[in-house]
């Protein structure tokens, strides 16, 4: 008994021999990226170093400026929410800065950036009164 298997695969074509092969690719001589890249890196290294240091310095300055503690001259009033320039005064009794709201005259305290024991300022209210005149 004979078994016949039918398939849809096409017959395998015969290989052709190519006699006119293209010419091999020859690398260009002279100014190519393989030649220029090391010299370019050597020439640009100082500039890249300076740019890197400048970028680091800029980021450090921005972070220092953002995280630097400071007294906000336009602090939000806790009573009325008004946010505008207002009166600041150091109170030696409480050793804190007293904000006075310009709208509702509410007062609230804030610790100074540098503690009062480290900067010894003598209060001179009499001299202040003379300058206002
Ligand atoms: Zn207020």
Give the pLDDT confidence of 50-88 residue by residue, as tens digits.
Answer: 999 999 999 999 999 888 888 888 999 999 999 999 999
pTM of the full structure: 0.45
Give residue-wise pLDDT tens across range 98-128.
999 999 999 999 998 888 878 766 666 766 6
Q: Does residue 54 sit in the same domain as residue 84?
A: no
Residue 57 and residue 79 share a domain: no
CA of 96 to the centre of ligand 1 (A): 19
- 27-34 mean pLDDT: 75
Residue 133 lies in a domain: no
pLDDT exceeds 80 at position 27: no
Cβ atoms 32, 26 nearer than 8 A: no
Calpha distance 45→38 (Å, rounded): 11
5, part of any domain:
no
In a domain, 42, yes or no: yes
Ligand 1 centroid to Cα of residue 66, in Å, is: 26
Q: 69 alpha carbon to ligand 1 midpoint, in Å?
A: 23
Q: What is the pLDDT of residues 43-52, one digit of tens each?
A: 999 999 999 9
What's the pLDDT at 119? 76
Q: How many structural domains does the chain have?
A: 2
Same domain? For 108 and 76 the reply is yes
* 8-state DSSP, 12: P
15 falls within a domain: no
Find the 110 Cα to ligand 1 centroid distance in Å.
15
> Cα 6 from chain centroid?
70
Is 3 part of any domain?
A: no
**Distance from Cα 116 to the centre of ligand 1, integer Å:** 26
Asked if the structure places residue 27 within a domain, the reply is: no
């Amino acid at each position: 008994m004979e078994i016949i298997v039918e398939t849809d695969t096409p017959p395998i074509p015969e290989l052709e021999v190519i006699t006119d092969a293209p010419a091999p690719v020859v690398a260009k001589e002279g100014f190519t990226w393989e030649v220029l890249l090391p010299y370019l890196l050597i020439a640009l290294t100082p500039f890249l170093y300076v740019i890197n240091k400048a970028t680091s310095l800029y980021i450090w300055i921005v972070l220092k400026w953002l995280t630097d503690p400071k007294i906000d001259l336009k602090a939000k009033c806790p009573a009325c929410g008004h946010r505008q320039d207002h009166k600041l005064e150091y109170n030696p009794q409480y050793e804190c800065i007293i904000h006075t709201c310009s709208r509702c005259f509410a007062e609230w305290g804030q610790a100074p950036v540098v503690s009062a024991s480290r900067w010894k300022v003598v209060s001179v209210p009499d001299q202040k009164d003379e300058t206002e005149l």
